[in-house]
């Protein structure tokens, strides 16, 4: 009949449950069996595999410093380094044209994508509506559209409006190609910023623009920078659109390097020198942003 109860949890339960000490010490296996041997073995294996994977790049860099004769001779690490291939590549004035195209297109499209994406990511992170999640996923899905599927219409559209083989055309394509990744990455970085800070700013009288300029941008600069770098990397290395939409005047380095595939362009040392120059900056960017790159490339699914 009595429904006596109290909300007081029994505080003593924790005290009473003392673990039997015998279980704790029983199965402690030594954590490192034979540290020394294991370490040597690991070091050899780790470095061996790393060098094996890196070898083609290393070889390419070395070949760039060889003469053409040495380049096709039996592989050898002993040779007299020469800059003649680099000089030869530089001497072909059009190398700079391609490099310039790459720079303009990669940085131009990245800048444009950031300008378009920042307001969007800001809204998604700080003014979420019921549709925000859907919009984000839809953006991801546009990235799934295989370029070959839309190659024909884009080619024809570009032909009709005169964008074929122009840097503007390539900038447009790369901007749109990277926009979903840029929005997603910025979104995840913005979302990491405690909302309270922006609200404190609002209490302090900051307008939306001031909020973005004084608080959001300075606080997320590292994130914005790595987003930008990732976008530059992806644009710089993009080969499908650059091979199909450009021929000579707007062709970036990917297309330039591809021209070495023809038999008459088979000068390995020069190819290597040109390739080294084409990938060196991106390789460094890539090393710098590898961690954030994971976020961008997996749309935040792996952190």
User: Which of 89, 171, 179, 250 forms a contact with another protein (CB under 8 A)?
Assistant: 179
Q: Smallest Cα–Cα separation from 299: which of 139, 97, 169?
A: 139
Residue 218 contacts another protein per CB under 8 A: yes
Q: Which of 252, 247, 245 is nearest to 156 (CA)?
A: 245
CB of 68 to another protein, least distance (A): 11
* Cβ 119 to another protein shortest distance, Å: 4
> What is the four-CA torsion angle of 240, 245, 248, 250, rounded to 10 degrees?
-90
Q: C-alpha angle with apex 117: 112 to 122, nearest 5 degrees?
A: 145
Task: Select the residue interacting with another protein from 89, 105, 136, 170 (CB under 8 A).
Answer: 136
Tell me if 45 contacts another protein by CB under 8 A: yes
Which residue stretch of 28-36, 80-88, 89-97, 163-171 sits at the interface with another protein (rule: CB under 8 A)?
A: 28-36
Q: Does 14 bind another protein (CB under 8 A)?
A: no
Stretch that binds another protein, among 81-89, 90-98, 161-169, 178-186 (CB under 8 A): 178-186
Regarding 110 and contact with another protein (CB under 8 A), the answer is no
Q: For residue 124, give both structure tokens.
A: 């998604």
Q: What's the N-to-C CA distance of the chain in angstroms?
A: 57
Q: Which of 67, 82, 166, 208 binds another protein (CB under 8 A)?
A: 208
- Tell me: does residue 200 bind another protein (CB under 8 A): yes
Burial of 125 (0-12, 13-18, 19+ CB in 10 A): buried
| Range list of H helices, the chain | 13-16, 21-25, 35-64, 68-72, 84-91, 94-126, 132-143, 147-161, 167-192, 195-203, 208-210, 217-237, 240-245, 253-258, 268-297
CB of 10 to another protein, least distance (A): 6
Residue number, 102 or 167, with CB nearest to another protein: 102
DSSP letter at 247 equals S
168 binds another protein (CB under 8 A): no
The correct pick among 28, 86, 163, 189 for binding another protein (CB under 8 A) is: 28
Query: How many whole angstroms separate alpha carbon 245 and alpha carbon 211?
Result: 41
> Taking the complex as a whole, how short is the minimal distance between the CB of residue 200 and another protein, in angstroms?
4
Do the Cβ atoms of 222 and 188 come closer than 8 Å?
Answer: no
Phi, psi of 251 (to 5 degrees): -65, 130
CB of 179: closest distance to another protein in angstroms? 6
227 is an interface residue for another protein by CB under 8 A: no
Contact pick of 77, 91, 93, 148 for another protein (by CB under 8 A): 148
Contact with another protein (CB under 8 A): which of 192, 239, 248, 249?
239
Q: Does 39 bind another protein (CB under 8 A)?
A: yes
Helix (H, G, I), strand (E, B) or coil at 69: helix
Residues 69-88 that bind another protein (CB under 8 A): 72-75
């Amino acid at each position: 009949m009595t429904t006596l109860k109290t909300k007081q949890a029994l505080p003593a339960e924790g005290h009473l449950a003392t673990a039997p000490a015998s279980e704790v010490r029983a199965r402690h296996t030594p954590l490192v069996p034979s540290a020394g041997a294991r370490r040597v073995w690991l070091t050899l294996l780790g470095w061996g595999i790393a060098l094996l994977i890196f070898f083609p790049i290393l070889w390419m860099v070395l070949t760039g410093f060889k003469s053409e004769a040495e380049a096709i001779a039996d592989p050898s690490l002993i040779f007299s380094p020469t800059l003649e291939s680099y000089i030869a590549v530089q001497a072909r004035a059009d190398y700079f044209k391609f490099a310039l195209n790459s720079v303009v297109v990669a940085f131009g499209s990245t800048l444009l994508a950031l300008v378009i994406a920042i307001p969007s990511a800001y809204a998604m992170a700080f003014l979420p509506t019921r549709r925000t999640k859907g919009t984000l996923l839809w953006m991801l899905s546009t990235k799934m559209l295989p370029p070959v599927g839309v190659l024909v219409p884009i080619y024809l559209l570009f032909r009709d409006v005169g964008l074929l083989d122009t840097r503007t055309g390539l900038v447009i394509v790369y901007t749109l190609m990277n926009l979903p990744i840029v929005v997603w990455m910025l979104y995840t970085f913005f979302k990491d910023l405690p909302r309270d800070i922006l609200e404190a700013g609002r209490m302090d009288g900051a307008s939306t623009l001031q909020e973005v300029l004084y608080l959001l941008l300075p606080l997320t600069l590292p994130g914005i920078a790595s987003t930008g770098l990732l976008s530059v990397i992806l644009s710089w290395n993009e080969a499908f659109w650059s091979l199909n939409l450009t021929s000579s005047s707007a062709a970036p380095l990917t297309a330039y390097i591809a021209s070495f595939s023809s038999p008459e362009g088979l000068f390995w040392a020069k190819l290597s020198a040109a390739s080294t120059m084409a990938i060196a900056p991106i390789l460094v960017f890539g090393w710098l942003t590898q961690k954030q790159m994971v976020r961008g490339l997996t749309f935040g699914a792996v952190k």
